[in-house]
Amino acid sequence: MVPLSWYIILGVVLFVIGAAGVLVRRNILVVLMSLELLLNSVNINFIAFGRYYGDFRGQIFAIFVIAITAAEVAVALGILVALVRNKSTLKVDEVTMMKG
């Protein structure tokens, strides 16, 4: 049988890779994809804990995370399309409209 810690370590590795994508990459599309990676590593942790402690609620919260992720992606891509139409840039550093 696979120990629980292996799943947690897989979640840690995917989380760090996703956070690296969010913090280091300058392309907005890749930043959004790395955000998906972060949420998926959290889902792995939820389901692994739910399985090893005999509780359904891990899976239920994973379902909620997936639903909220779908909403987030729809809104983020809408904002992205509007941004590209107005400023025609995809770099994070050049989006400073809300900088005050």
Partner 1 sequence: MDPGFFLLFATVSVITALTVVLARNPVHSALALMACFLNISAIFVMLEAPLLAVIQIFVYVGAIMVLFLFVIMMIDVREAVLQRFLPGSNLPAMGLLILLGIEMLVLVLWSDRFSITEPAAIGGGDQIRQLSTTLFADYLLPFEAASVILLAALVGAIVLARKE
Which residues of this chain interact with partner 1, rule CB under 8 A? 1-10, 12-21, 23-27, 29-30, 32-34, 36-37, 40, 43-44, 47-48, 50-54, 56-57, 59-60, 62-64, 66-75, 77-82, 84-85, 88, 90-91
What's the burial of 42, exposed, middle or buried (CB within 10 Å: 0-12/13-18/19+)? middle
Q: How far is CA 17 from the centre of its chain?
A: 11
- Which of 29/95 has CB closer to partner 1? 29
Cβ count within 10 A of residue 13:
11
> Least distance in Å: CB of 87 to partner 1?
11
